[in-house]
Structure 1
Amino acid sequence: MEDITKIKDLTPSSRRVNVVGKVLSVGEPKTIQTKFGDQRSVTEVTIGDDTGKVILSLWGDQASQARAGETLAIGNGYVSLVRGHIRLNVGKYGSLSVSDEEVTEVNEDFDASEKEYENNFHRSGPRRDNFRRGGYGGRSNRDEEEE
């Protein structure tokens, strides 16, 4: 795997990252409703490397690949925010496998998922509304009140 991203370098805008991390813990699967209304199973797995640890969200059958003590390789992963906290994801275009290289040392003092970010942080940076106050058309509500 090329260009490995260290856990301490993950940000809310991280995309197409390759991460190698040792499985520190595997949570219980939870059933959640997606934004599309589907019911899906997600398991939160904490992985770590020599720079820190992060929560990895594994969906459905992906969770069966995570066993405490094993080292996982995430290819083409991305970061999302869950209630303002970083979660590493594999996604449908990513890959998840047991790594050939082993992570032997984990820095558990730095938790990338601990820091809280504002939820308006998007892939290209903070959200900026392009709409004028009072509406998005040529006239605002204030114009209508004055007539």
Structure 2
Amino acid sequence: MSKPGSFSKEKKIINLKEGEQNVTVVGRVLDAGEPKVISTKRGPRTISEALIGDDSGRVKVTLWGEKAGSLEEGKVVRIENAWTTSFKGKVQLNVGSKSKVEETEDSSIPPKEDIPDREPTAPSPHSREGQRFRKPGRRPRPW
């Protein structure tokens, strides 16, 4: 059992699953985008997107608010208290105001060119492959 206020054990990027909270990962920043303002249900929000990787794979990271633009390409970072979501079948990592991002000297993280091109995937719980659809309230015609 973890102590109050403690962070979760580091996870390999490929093992990230949709819907996780309090996630800790260490990875090399492969790409870091500039901050931009987007429209959300809560009004305009500043975000930036990045790609980080470790020896297991890579994951897209969305940095929200004051964390936007805080990653620098090529650096190794430790991200604590992040959360995961999924988009188009791929798991994504989210970094917000309660997340901690710090540069680290982790020699176990390979150089950019040696990071595998694998991403954690989110199984679709609503896979409708092979099902036929009809408009609601309509019954098949009895031919």
Q: Which residue of 2 aligns with 1:24?
A: 30
Structure 1 length as normaliser, TM-score?
0.68
Q: Which residue of 2 aligns with 1:9?
A: 15
Q: Which residue of 2 aligns with 1:99?
A: 104
Three-state SS of the structure 1 residue aligned to 2:68 is: helix
Runs of 4+ in 1 over 4 A off after TM superposition: none
Equivalences for 1:44-55 in 2 at 5 Å? Answer: 44-55=49-60
Contact 2:32 2:51 in 1 (8 A): yes
**Following TM superposition, by how much is the alpha carbon of 1:100 offset from its aligned partner in structure 2, in angstroms?**
3.5
Q: 1:53 to 1:60 in 2, by over 3 A?
A: same
Q: Deviations over 1:113-137 (max 9, x none)?
A: xx464387xxxxxxxxxxxxxxxxx
Aligned mates of 1:119, 1:55 — CA distance in 2: 21
Contact 1:65 1:98 in 2 (8 A): no
1:68 aligns with 2:73: yes
Aligned mates of 1:33, 1:118 — CA distance in 2: 26
Q: Which residue of 1 aligns with 2:119?
A: 111
Q: Which residue of 1 aligns with 2:82?
A: 77
Three-state SS of the structure 1 residue aligned to 2:30 is: strand
Q: Deviations over 1:43-84 (max 9, x none)?
A: 110000000000010123323321110011111111012354
What is the count of residue pairs matched by the alignment? 117
Aligned mates of 1:24, 1:30 — CA distance in 2: 19
Unaligned runs of 5+ in 2: 1-6, 127-143
Unaligned runs of 5+ in 1: 121-147
Three-state SS of the structure 2 residue aligned to 1:65 is: coil
Structure 2 length as normaliser, TM-score?
0.69
Aligned mates of 1:109, 1:84 — CA distance in 2: 16
* Equivalent residue letter for 1:75: E
Aligned-residue Cα RMSD (Å) equals 2.3
Aligned mates of 1:48, 1:22 — CA distance in 2: 5
